[in-house]
Structure 1
Amino acid sequence: INPSIDVNETTAIVLAAKRGGGKSAVVLIGGGSPKNFVLQTEPQIQETLKIPDAGHDYFLQFTDARPDTGGLSGATPHEAVSWGKVDPRKLPDAIVCYLDVTVALPILTHYAMAKHSRRRLKRLYFKRENLLKDVIREVRAKWPPLRPEEIPGYSKRKRGGRT
């Protein structure tokens, strides 16, 4: 398990979907760390990698956490806009459903399966390494190589291997 690689692979999948003419959507079942994980792809694209983007196109959340308690699990799409996680132009279409996920997910799943025909699987797990390589190539082409002293936390090694 490597969270840094996981974030970058997820970021690469989102970017590839958008570049391929598609859109990105977040469907949040609950909150907490998984919610943050999927939403952080956009700040990673925009702030860390400096790739222009506007945020996720769709936001659908099922949660029993209320925003008035101050917890991040109940944070609304409006909060996600402030971090560039959701495209502000898409905010009117964002949906938050305050309902226990054990009730919401079966209803959503039944509706989706009843209304839509099967689609070919995208098999994104098997494409993630190549998608990540594409992002790395793009970033390297945009950014000049860093000198060691420009890398945060780097310091010249003294004799004996200690800093």
Structure 2
Amino acid sequence: MRPSRRGASASRRRKFRGSLRQGLTPHPVPWFISGVTNQATSSTPNNRGTTSGDPVLDESKPLFLAVAEQIEDGILDATYVEGETVPSTNELAAFLRINPATAGKGLNRLVDAGVLEKRRGLGMVVAPGAVELLRRRRREAFAQNYLAPLLREAAQLGITPRELAQMITKEAS
């Protein structure tokens, strides 16, 4: 007697679900998961009243910018090294459950900035010098977003730069 196709398929689905429960992935992408997740998952109820478990992106900015920032963070913390591929547009879209066009826009933004390169047959690759480029850009943004307002506030309070340096040194130790 020949086994029904329905039973065999159900058996494969159970094996697949079991492997996911054990932490195995059907496609070897642990580098992708560690580099793109935002270390939190959504705990908001979905239509069925259960939590969705979707990866959380920073919703205070456009999604494509959040995707680009997550890839940048992965480059800075050496999840993606120079010359190594980053997740594809479709991988990002599937994992983050966003439109592939949105994921592509985030990756293309990094290509335009010179952080990633498109290589035929490989996909997007971290460009040589990307780490230094990102550090330089982020330092400039840090100075503009944090130091300038700090210095303005210190001046309004009558705190000299020397006193401010002493306060920072004291807090850092």
Q: Which has the higher strand share?
A: 1
Which category describes the TM-score, using the shorter chain as reference length? 0.3 to 0.5
TM-score by structure 1 length?
0.32
TM-score by structure 2 length?
0.31
